[in-house]
Amino acid sequence: MANNVHTVTPKRVVIAMDGSEYSQKAFEWYVKNLHTTNDEYEPILAYCPEFGHVFGPFMTGDTNAVSEKLRKEEEEVQAVLQSLQATLDQSGVIGRVVRLTGSPGDAICKLAEDEDADCIVTGTRGHGKLRRTILGSVSQYVIHHAKVPVFVCRDRHK
């Protein structure tokens, strides 16, 4: 007699996380609105640190100072990654934390494509139009370049 066990591949959800309260709100939204306890979803917490400011205004010929700055930034990155893993552990959600490199928006879209994700969840800092125009916005980039649906979570209380 054939075994009629039907296994369902979990839907992968990339959750863009930067360690901020805004990304925490995005994770909370995922847990409240998408996550189920039957392993239907596999969340992937994606963190892409930005190191650009190390080489901008910090430009110096003092290699020891540069090395120390890079070491401190790597410690901060590791602390964020550990915090994201703790977020998963404390919530009881089984998922993965992935460290990305490069431009955050592009890296998030590429991860979603590489992982064959079903959607992306991201927070937004709610910058005004002028600030978004000048600085750019990761959530705006993801909205315009992702090949899957994107949920942008705003904090209604701000």
CB count within 10 Å of CB 76 equals 12
Can you give the length of the chain in residues? 158
Sheet holding 150-153, edge to edge: 96-99, 41-47, 11-16, 119-123, 150-153
Maximum CA extent, the chain: 74
Query: Does 67 fall in a domain?
Result: yes
* β-strand pairing of 11-16 with 96-99: unpaired
Q: How far is CA 74 from the centre of its chain?
A: 17
Return the CATH number at 84: 3.40.50.620
Query: Does 33 fall in a domain?
Result: yes
Q: Could you read off the pLDDT tens digit of each residue along the chain, which spans 158 residues?
A: 455 555 668 899 999 998 888 889 999 999 999 998 777 889 999 999 876 554 444 556 778 877 888 889 899 999 999 999 999 999 999 999 999 999 999 999 999 999 999 999 998 865 555 544 444 588 889 999 999 999 998 766 55
